Amino acid sequence: MAQHAIEDLVEDTVFLIDSADLPKLTKRDYLAAVYRIQNLFDTGYTHFRVIDILLKYNFVYRIASNDYPGYANKAGARTGWIENEKTGELAYAELEEGQIYLYIDAGSTSWEKLCSEKILAGTDCKPVSAISLPQLIDSLLQEAEKQNQYILLTQWYGLLVNGYLGGSFGREDVLADNFTGLLQNPDLLSIRATAQRNQVKRLRNADESIALPLLADEVRLAGGIEKEFAARFFLDLKKSPEKLKAAYTKAIKVMSGAGKLIEDLIDGQLAEGLTVQGWTMIQNQEANAWHWYKDTPSGRRFLWIVLEKEDKFLMCHLGIQHRVLLDWQQRAANTRLADVHFYQMAIASLPESRLENKTIIHPYGGWKFDLKSPRKTLTAQIGNLIEDIRTAETNYFSSIEDEFPEDFFKRNPEQLLYLIEEGEEGTGIVPNYVLFDSPYTILLSFAFHYHKQGDSTKAASMLNIIREKLNSKSKLSAYDDRYLVPFLSAANESVFNLAMPPVYHYLLVQDLKVVSQI
């Protein structure tokens, strides 16, 4: 689908260049640079919108087909694009009053052929001067300012910002990939100054390719200091480059000490607090993630915390490998999160009064933890986290022990299957007592439960429902292939001699993806 906003921008820019007080050859060079940018996007052939201007400045040449070298030998004259993949010749053919004319851009291989064959000569064959993207946009913004074309000025600035932050523009366009490099580019500083003078703002109802992005969104999604301050360079126009550089230097200093801060607060303060509560740390290689476990009569409990640096919070989960399911799976507890049976965000087990504390709790469901905050603030937040983990652990695992296995197996499995598919009263909201994320795991657990109770008929019926569900699928998943199909291949009377397949949930699915790539 053509990007009409870019096409319209180019058309308006051609009129801007036409009105500018510039030499004819300079205008040709600018036109060539503008259309070079247009070619980076999904656009149509828009030359005919402004063809008279393009012809006037010799950016486009209109040549009768019988005057183009070798055209008569080309197979089948036609309109539209004519391209020779071997030579690189490219022209747009148009039928006009019974004659086919070729429209050829200056600087193209076809234009070079016209010059080499002496069809064009003199200044018509002067090479097109290369204009870098920053130079071009700097000139266009200043010209738009002279001509009081505020919208056009803002649109070009928006295109530059979106192109850079989105990755469409980069080093090949003479744009540094770091904040310091941006500050050292005189064209970008001039562009920024023009944008400041004209107080550019996000245009309403503008296409996203040319509308200025929101600074808050770009900072939140930056993923690092360089990208964050690149966004601030372009979008925080109230601050001078000098102030931005000072803030950048301070941020670099803060982040250089982040490793020591994490070591002191998480590997130190948090780990010590959890050790007191009976948790044992699991040594893992995952960056910015920490795992603990605790053995209890009901099974092995798990606690894992992830530092979401970009969003500035600590996410915490609680999980358990339950003794009943471990027995059916014929294995001992391990330290793999993919093998937990039940898990939940710790914050879901906190009282409402804590969740309402916006100074502690992050909107995304974790504990605020901005490494740029004062050490005193972060130390206090770790203290809050330790306190909340104690509360969440008590509430969450008590609810699991109250529900599983006794109360869970008193429920109707068909009702549980309905709830996991449709939610309570068809709302899509699945009650906590459903426990599992998959109908397969519900059916498997009931099958083993009925088998243990000596009810082979009900146990077999659970397995048959699984078989029916698998048979109705057009494509089996990795979980189906790896676990369910081999398990169900045994006869009903001997299947319970096998280990129950792993409990299906998101962590297991992610683990299967990793395994499949090895």
pLDDT tens digit sequence for 174-189: 899 899 999 999 999 9
Q: What are the C-alpha distances in Å from 105 to residues 15, 60, 110, 261, 505?
A: 18, 4, 8, 59, 58
- Taking residues 5-10, what's their average pLDDT? 96
Q: Minimal CA–CA distance to 422: which of 443, 439, 435, 405?
A: 439
Confidence of residue 74 (pLDDT cuts 50, 70, 90): low
Across the chain, what does the average pLDDT equal? Answer: 92
pLDDT at 334 over 80: yes
The per-residue pLDDT for range 463-497, each reduced to its tens digit, is 999 999 999 998 999 999 999 999 999 887 789 99
Instruction: State phi, psi for 308 to the nearest 5 degrees.
Output: -90, 90
378/236 Cα distance (integer angstroms): 27
Higher model confidence: residue 277 or residue 513?
277
Predicted local confidence at residue 2, as pLDDT: 56
Question: Residue 413, preceding bond cis, omega within 30 degrees?
Answer: no
* Beta-bridge partners for 157: none
CA dihedral 431, 435, 437, 438 (to 10 degrees): -110
Q: Which residues contact 257 (CB under 8 A, 6 or more apart)?
A: none
Confidence of residue 1 (pLDDT cuts 50, 70, 90): very low
Predicted local confidence at residue 115, as pLDDT: 95
The per-residue pLDDT for range 213-251, each reduced to its tens digit, is 999 999 888 877 899 999 999 999 999 999 999 999 888
The per-residue pLDDT for range 29-42, each reduced to its tens digit, is 999 999 999 999 98
Q: Which residues contact 160 (CB under 8 A, 6 or more apart)?
A: 133, 137, 169, 191, 234
The per-residue pLDDT for range 360-400, each reduced to its tens digit, is 999 999 999 988 888 899 999 999 999 999 999 999 999 99
Question: Angle at CA 310, nearest 5°, toward 304 and 311?
Answer: 70
User: Pairing state of beta strands 299-308 and 289-296?
Assistant: antiparallel
State both tokens at 481.
């292939």
Predicted local confidence at residue 77, as pLDDT: 53
210/165 Cα distance (integer angstroms): 12
Question: Angle at CA 26, nearest 5°, toward 92 and 159?
Answer: 70
